[in-house]
Amino acid sequence: MKRHLTQVNDWMTQNPITITSNASLAQAYDLMQEQGVRRLIVADREFLGIVTLSDILRAMPLREETSDRETRLLMTTRKVRDVMTYDPVTIDPEDTIQEAAERMLEYEVSGLPVLDGERVVGIITESDIFRLVVESWAEESVPD
């Protein structure tokens, strides 16, 4: 099988949205909604990890008797550091998209922070890889 050699840095989202570990879950949720993203890089001066919308939703009560007000109160008191993934699986910007996809499959994650050394330079997600696939297929289907 042919390996895909396109690099992560060609398809990643540069300068991903970040939040501090001390921010509330409400702040993280609101930022995700405002920016239209499902994951945030967590950094307190240096990269710590990642928090996803799923992390936040898992931390919220699912009981029917819990009011929206009570849920919002819980979201304002709990912190990102309480639910985030510390030291997540990452990828290098020069690694290939295939390596990124394989890593996502192996570790069952939908996005990878892209690190150049210790510095976060982007994030690559399943959506980015789907975009590559769609664009590649579109190019292949164009008659000469």
Please say whether the structural domain 8-141 has been given the CATH code 3.10.580.10.
yes
Beta-ladder partners of 19: 42
Which tens digit of pLDDT belongs to each residue from 101-122? 999 999 999 999 999 999 999 9
If you average pLDDT over residues 21-27, what whole number do you get? 94
How far from 65 is each of 26, 68, 69, 136, 139, CA to CA, in Å?
20, 10, 11, 49, 53
- Spans of all domains in the chain: 8-141
Which tens digit of pLDDT belongs to each residue from 50-72? 999 999 988 876 555 555 655 56
DSSP secondary structure letter of residue 10: G
Full-model pTM: 0.82
